[in-house]
Amino acid sequence: MTRGPGESNASSASELAQALVKRGPSIRLVLREILDGKGLEALDWDRYKRHQKLMIREQTPTSAWMLRAVLRCLKIDAWVMHSGLFNKARDDIVRLANKPRSTFKCLVMMFDMGGTGLVIHHANDRVVITSIARSR
């Protein structure tokens, strides 16, 4: 990676996280919601009465991909659901999102995709909208 004068390599996970979210209000909001929703903690149904997962709604494919890439770099299991997926891939993502004990923590869902099959009231009780939906 090309660095400018004075930019150093990240030497810890904390420094890497700071570099990834620098000047990125969307990813900062997403990470704050994950922390507030106890998404990084072990599943505790008795305490929280939900799966502790997050759904992100995004309009732009590159932004959705970037959110997923940053979350995965931070060791948070995230997937993007978009209209180009085959039915089996879509069904696999829905199954992971609905399964309480899966490592799946964050669903980035494009606005062109419906939520059929998602049990949102248990699995994804926190929803972040990072961009405005526009009709084409």
Question: What's residue 32's pLDDT?
Answer: 83
Question: What's residue 26's pLDDT?
Answer: 82
pLDDT in tens, 38-75: 777 777 777 776 677 888 888 888 888 988 988 888 88
Cα three-residue angle 108-85-58, rounded to 5 degrees: 25
Question: What's residue 88's pLDDT?
Answer: 92
The residues near 125 (Cβ < 8 Å, ≥ 6 apart) are 37, 50
Compute the distance between CA of residue 46 and CA of residue 133 in angstroms, rounded to an integer: 36
Percent of the chain with pLDDT over 90: 2
pTM (predicted TM-score): 0.73
Question: What's residue 57's pLDDT?
Answer: 87
On the question of pLDDT at 121 being above 60, the answer is no
Question: Which fold would CATH assign to domain 50-136?
Answer: Rossmann fold (3.40.50)
